[in-house]
């Protein structure tokens, strides 16, 4: 089903649990997704599970420098975003 075809999404904490499930659902629905995580191992595992359609980025929401860099990267990769999912720790 292509219910999210043409949509663009950002998911923080998208490497495990509900964040990863959200990313999978968005990708399966046709969205382009950029997801973040802090741990290199979980980032690599998520990239293997999700494949090349997912933009996997190391970013820590507790770091203002990371947040600034993420904003610039999202603009570069996706432009305007339709969905943002922020997973709380």
Is pLDDT of 89 > 70?
A: no
Please tell me the CATH superfamily of domain 8-86, with its number. NAD(P)-binding Rossmann-like Domain (3.40.50.720)
Query: Within a 13 Å sphere around the CA of 61, how many CA atoms are in the beta-carbon half?
Result: 13
What are the pLDDT digits (tens) for 2-28?
899 999 999 999 999 999 999 999 999
Write down the residue that tokens 């990708």 correspond to.
Answer: 27
pTM over 0.95: no
Confidence of residue 53 (pLDDT cuts 50, 70, 90): confident
Q: Give me the residue spans of the domains in the chain.
A: 8-86
Task: Please compute the mean of the pLDDT values over residues 35-39 and round it to a whole number.
Answer: 96
In this structure, are residues 57 and 35 in contact, taking their beta carbons and an 8 Å threshold? yes
Residue 88 pLDDT > 90, yes or no? Answer: no
Would the pLDDT of 1 be above 90?
Answer: no
């Amino acid at each position: 089903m292509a219910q999210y075809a043409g949509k663009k999404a950002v998911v923080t904490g998208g490497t495990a649990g509900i964040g990863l499930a959200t990313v999978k659902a968005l990708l399966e629905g046709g969205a382009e997704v950029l997801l973040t995580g802090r741990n290199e191992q979980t980032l690599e595992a998520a990239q293997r599970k999700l494949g090349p359609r997912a933009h996997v980025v190391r970013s820590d929401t507790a770091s203002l420098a990371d947040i600034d860099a993420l904003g610039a990267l999202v603009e570069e990769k996706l432009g305007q975003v339709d969905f943002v999912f922020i997973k709380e720790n």
